[in-house]
């Protein structure tokens, strides 16, 4: 019997050191996400289009096309794009410095080679001045070490988000990666409808944004950087933003409200240098949710519960 593994430390992730690779990886995830989007029935709040963190990287999960089931995975351990299909077909290529157009073409070849249908919308979303994938020929770097650290960070963050998710009886999203804004997120819902979202998100159809925010939310997540804050950052916001939300006390001490973004922020660096990174992150998630739920007048007694534990059924409370 093998010995139990000790979890590795939370890796450092200075955004300036891998900014160009991060941008390339973001665009690669858009191409994979758009493939899933093209073949998956719409689910509330675009949950059908997201990617998921695995021990090897980021995956579409099963995509059920008319001709069968296909999965596309960015393997960030062996640095390959791997496409698998039912019946045993597999195609792959190496992740390396290349243009976005090259990645787009190689992904098309891999998916079609495995028997899939590659018919995606051909330009990025939620970025300013998007260049169609097939026309983005500039060679992008690929810093494999930085990508591995990013993957390592996601593997540390996901279980904290998952544990936070369990302390809520109401509607709550999976922990998933939105490729449009390149953020890992988990979202709680009050159960009430929200005012029509003003939309206006760059290169995102208004009806998509408005459907995503059809109901009141408290949402938390993680960006690797490059979205108005050029460092890795945790965030938490409410929609609609309740009066007094920005003035609520939150934890830990390094958390702050950013008036421009309209969100609470906590630097990733503050978390990984704390004595207990998981507990520090949980305190941010819990306190910023409380800020949203309290000022938004959520029915907290009906919506909240104790954080879940393995093998322990949740009490019915009757």
Q: What is the pLDDT of residues 230-283, one digit of tens each?
A: 899 999 999 999 999 999 999 999 999 999 999 999 999 999 999 999 999 999
- Give the per-residue pLDDT at 4: 65
pLDDT at 226 over 90: no
Q: What is the pLDDT of residues 73-108, one digit of tens each?
A: 999 999 999 999 999 999 999 999 999 999 999 999
Over the stretch 142-177, which tens digit does the pLDDT of each residue have?
A: 999 999 999 999 999 999 999 999 999 999 999 999
Q: Is 308 a residue whose pLDDT tops 90? A: yes
Adjacent-strand bridge partners of 65: 68
Q: Which residues contact 217 (CB under 8 A, 6 or more apart)?
A: 187, 188, 189, 190, 194, 238, 239
Cβ neighbours of 1 (radius 10 Å) = 3
Q: pLDDT (tens digit, 9 = 90+) per residue, 30-48?
A: 999 999 999 999 999 999 9
Question: Which pLDDT score is estimated for 318?
Answer: 47
Measured CA to CA, the distance from residue 64 to residue 287 in angstroms comes to: 39
Contact 294, 218 (CB under 8 A): no
- Percent of the chain surpassing pLDDT 70: 98
Residue 90, phi then psi, degrees to nearest 5? -145, 135
Of 281, 274, 276, 304, the residue nearest 264 (C-alpha): 281
- pLDDT score, position 56: 98
Share the mean pLDDT of the chain.
96
The three-state secondary structure class of 195 is: coil
Give the pLDDT confidence score for residue 317 in this predicted structure: 63
Please report the pLDDT score of residue 247 as a whole number: 97
pLDDT (average), residues 4-20? 90
Tell me the whole-structure pTM to 2 decimals: 0.96
Report the distance separating Cα 291 and Cα 129, nearest Å. 35
Position 6 pLDDT exceeds 80? no
Q: How confident is the model at residue 1 (pLDDT cuts 50, 70, 90)?
A: low
| Interior/surface letters 133-167, b for 16+ CB within 10 angstroms, e for the rest | beebeeebebbeebbebbbbbbbbbbebbebbbeb
């Amino acid at each position: 019997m093998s010995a139990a593994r000790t979890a590795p430390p939370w890796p450092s992730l200075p955004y300036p050191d891998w900014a160009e690779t991060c941008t390339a990886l973001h665009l690669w995830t858009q191409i994979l996400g758009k493939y899933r989007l093209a073949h998956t029935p719409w689910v509330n709040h675009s949950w059908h289009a997201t990617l998921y963190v695995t021990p090897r990287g980021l995956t579409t999960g099963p995509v059920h096309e008319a001709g069968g089931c296909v999965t596309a995975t960015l393997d960030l351990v062996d640095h390959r794009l791997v496409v698998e299909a039912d019946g045993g077909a597999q195609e792959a290529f190496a992740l390396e410095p290349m243009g976005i157009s090259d990645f787009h073409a190689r992904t098309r070849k891999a998916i079609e080679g495995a028997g899939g249908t590659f018919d995606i919308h051909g330009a990025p979303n939620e970025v300013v001045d998007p260049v169609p994938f097939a026309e983005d020929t500039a060679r992008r770097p690929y810093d494999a070490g930085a990508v591995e650290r990013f993957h390592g960070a996601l593997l540390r963050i996901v279980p904290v988000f998952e544990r936070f998710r369990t302390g809520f009886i109401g509607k709550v999203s999976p922990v998933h990666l939105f490729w449009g804004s390149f953020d890992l997120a988990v979202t709680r819902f009050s159960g009430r409808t929200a005012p029509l979202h003003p939309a206006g998100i760059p290169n995102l159809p208004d009806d998509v944004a408005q459907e995503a925010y059809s109901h009141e939310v408290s949402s938390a997540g993680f960006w690797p950087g490059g979205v108005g804050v050029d460092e890795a950052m945790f965030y938490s916001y409410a929609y609609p933003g309740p009066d007094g939300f920005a003035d609520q006390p939150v934890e830990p001490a390094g958390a702050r409200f950013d008036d421009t973004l309209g969100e609470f922020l906590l630097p990733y660096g503050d978390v990984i240098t704390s004595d207990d990174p998981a507990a520090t992150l949980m305190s941010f998630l819990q306190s910023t949710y409380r800020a949203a739920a309290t000022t938004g007048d959520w029915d907290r007694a009906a919506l909240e519960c104790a954080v879940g534990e393995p093998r322990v059924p949740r009490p019915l409370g009757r």
